Structure 1
Amino acid sequence: MNKKPAFTTICSLFFLVMILSNTATANESMLMEAPIIIDGQTFRTPYIMRDGHLLVPAIFVKNTGAYVDKNEAFHSIVFSRGETKFAIPIGKNYSDDFDRLTGNWIRKPLATSSIEFQGVPFIPLIDVVKKLGMNVQYDANLGRTFITTNFHIKSNVVRKANTKEKLVALTFDDGPEDYYTPQIIDVLKQKNAPATFFVVGRQVQLFPEVMKQIVKEGHGIGNHTWNHPDLRKEWSGKVKEEIRMTQDEMEGVVGRRPHLFRPPFGAITKSDMRLLNDLGMKNMHWSVDTLDWSGLSADEILEIVHRDVSPGGIILQHNFQSNVRMLDGTVEALPRIIDELRAKGYTFVTLQTLLDMEQEE
């Protein structure tokens, strides 16, 4: 007679635990976002609270300028900055810190365990940034976490050249391919106007003859990664590999390894900027975004160009493959851009020439 109530109590407790567990899982599947201020700049990130500690996706730390990589063999995340290097095994409450003097890895405790949620590794933010030599504090009144990296990374973003001369550079992203690129090259040849093509490595591999034609016609080239990923979402080692593979492919096809680089979508972290500096590459953005990728008409593209162009300007256009003819406006607008800007006194040059002219001033 006494066993039935006991059994009922045990079942009730079991179901209570299950309910609580399911509630926690549901909450974590709908992650909230928190603003984190790094050197005065605000970044938003999904987060998880565990044992009173803030956990964020490991790759978020790239915003501080540190290199972040995933070691698949040891199922860990590796962070490095200057002489500091350590690994955090996923699911553990410790780090393995590399001692450069002895060449040994030393195990040290963390405030809480790292976790993996929906395939994304989350790490205790405070522990990690402190280990990287950064200052961090939480302002309870503002509800904000502030990080001071104590880490200067030279800005390498070039949006336009610092010149008063009416020089302008036409640039085309995402090729080469065999429909729009040949048309663009023909227009440029007819108008005797040089341009700069930021090429995707896999496209160079697919269309080597078109790539050779770009160089043969005297146009500049730049690196636009191998697969066109959002670099903010890629491990540091993957970013470096995207650049290296494209450099190798260009060298194999046209014998050049350009030092001009343009990140896909113009999206980049402080860590990626640091990597470009380490590789000696210029981070080329633009001052005139024609938005041609969205299928704008030639008239709409021209309106943007005339509105935004200025001496030293860099005009962004595209030459990607499109089954729905998204870039017809680009081809139609190009000869008019050249003629109308020349009528205003502009001279078209490659990006490298534009940079060289800036250095001469």
Structure 2
Amino acid sequence: MQKDQLFTRRRALLAGAAALGAAGTAGLILADSGEEAARTSVAPVAGPQARQALGPSAFRLQPLTGYGPPRAAPHRLKVRDEPILRVSGTGRRMVLTFDDGPNPLYTPHILDTLAEHGVRAMFFVCGEMAVENKELLARMADEGHVVGNHTWTHPLLTALDRGEIRSEMERTSDVIEDAYGERPQWFRAPYGAWNRAAFQLGADMGMEPMAWTVDTTDWEEPGTSTIVDRVESGAAPGVVVLSHDAGGDRSQTVRAIREWLPYLLDSGYHLTVPRRRPV
């Protein structure tokens, strides 16, 4: 399948899946008063906030696959009924997330901007993109970003059977482990369309389900100023921001982050990533 055809198919599916994604994630907020297991798994780790680039290999995950002991079984997790929409904790903490990449045209520019401001983020990658751009996953590991599983081909999971969902998730986790250095601990359903099988299989593979609080809707290419406004007006403690670094023309997203990221930092927000569990 050509990438242009894949992007067109994804855009066509978005309209039908958007309502389902909203219904599946609306109002599912983890507050500080939530269950202890939820608070522990999503407790944020403050990323460096100094305005200088991170040093080479400052956060490199070691050992890489093939140089360490045999892979351990995934950490057993409770099967959730709802995805995580917010992070708990005190202070003005937010999480930045980027979906559908990595893309060699746009992801490096986003990584450059994050590095310029000393900020870490989460990247939910698609296996078919990751397998062709492994050097970008290695860079994410070097610079302390968290990589999550976003399936192999970005399908609508509610239209697949259990075996197909497992294959989409397992293949992606395998390529992430190979390029990033460890298996992902976070999973995001394409289009925000969750079902029971996705929650169960994700937990079996040691992955927590994460959705989002603020959608920039940059996939609509609404204009750089509109994306900036959506992030800045939606900023609040515990918010998870959804943007995209692939799946279409993401030049607006690249330009927008150069504006809204300094604004969030100047406004006193601490941009964080979830704490990794021992593996």
Using the size of structure 2 for normalisation, the TM-score is 0.68
Counterpart among 266, 271, 276 of residue 343 in structure 1 = 266
**In the alignment, is residue 162 of structure 1 matched against residue 115 of structure 2?**
no
2:257 aligned partner, one-letter code: L
Larger fraction in strand:
1
Report if aligned partners of 1:262, 1:285 keep a CA contact under 8 Å in 2. yes
Code of the aligned partner of 2:269: Y
The one-letter amino acid of 1:285's match is A
Alpha-carbon shift at residue 208 of structure 1 (Å): 1.2
Q: What is aligned with 1:252?
A: 178
- Whether 1:311 aligns to 2:237 is yes
Partner of 1:171: 97
- Report the AA paired with residue 309 of structure 1: A
Q: CA deviation at 1:271?
A: 2.8
State the one-letter code of the partner of 1:252. D
Deviation per CA, 1:12-47, whole angstroms, max 9, x where unpaired? Answer: xxxxxxxxxxxxxxxxxxxxxxxxxxxxx99xxxxx
The correspondence of residues 1-361 of structure 1 with structure 2, limited to 5 A, is: 154-322=80-248, 326-350=249-273, 352-353=274-275
Name the amino acid aligned to 1:333: A
Cα separation, partners in 2 of 1:248 and 1:330, compared to 1, 3 Å: same
What residue ranges of structure 2 are gaps of 5+ in the alignment? Answer: 1-22, 25-77
Q: Is the 8 A contact 2:115 2:143 kept in 1?
A: yes
Partner of 2:66: none
Match of 2:8 in 1: none
Q: Residue 166 of structure 2 contacts residue 201 of structure 2 at CA under 8 Å; is this kept in 1?
A: yes
The runs of at least 4 aligned residues of structure 1 exceeding 6 Å deviation read none
The one of the two structures with greater contact order (alpha-carbon pairs below 8 A, sep at least 6) is 2
Change (3 A) 1:321 1:278: closer
- For 2:135 and 2:82, the matched residues in 1 are separated by 32
Q: Conserved in 1, the CA contact under 8 Å of 2:141 and 2:181?
A: no
Displacement after TM superposition at 1:203 (Å): 0.8
SS at match of 1:158: coil
Distance between the aligned counterparts of 2:206 and 2:158, measured in 1?
Answer: 20
SS at match of 1:221: strand
Provide, for residues 153-184 of structure 1, a one-character-per-residue CA deviation record: whole Å limited to 9, x for no partner. Answer: 63241001123410111111011111001111
Greater Cα radius of gyration, structure 1 or 2: 1
Q: What TM-score, normalized to structure 1?
A: 0.53
Cα pair distance change 1:182/1:306, threshold 3 Å: same
Cα deviation digits, residues 169-219 of structure 1 (max 9, x gap): 111101111100111111111111111111111111111112211221221
Could you list the runs of 5+ residues in structure 1 that have no partner in the other structure?
A: 1-40, 43-151, 357-361
Letter of the aligned partner of 1:328 in structure 2? S
> Contact between 2:140 and 2:180, CA under 8 Å: does it hold in 1?
no
SS in 1 for 2:153: coil
Q: Report the AA paired with residue 263 of structure 1.
A: A
Note if contact 1:160-1:286 (Cα within 8 Å) is conserved in structure 2.
yes
Separation in structure 2 between the aligned mates of residue 308 and residue 210 of structure 1, nearest angstrom: 29
SS of alignment partner, residue 94 of structure 2: strand
Whole-angstrom distance in 1 between the partners of 2:103 and 2:83: 27
Secondary structure of the residue that 2:120 maps to in structure 1? coil
Deviations 1:66-85 (CA, angstroms, capped at 9, x unpaired): xxxxxxxxxxxxxxxxxxxx
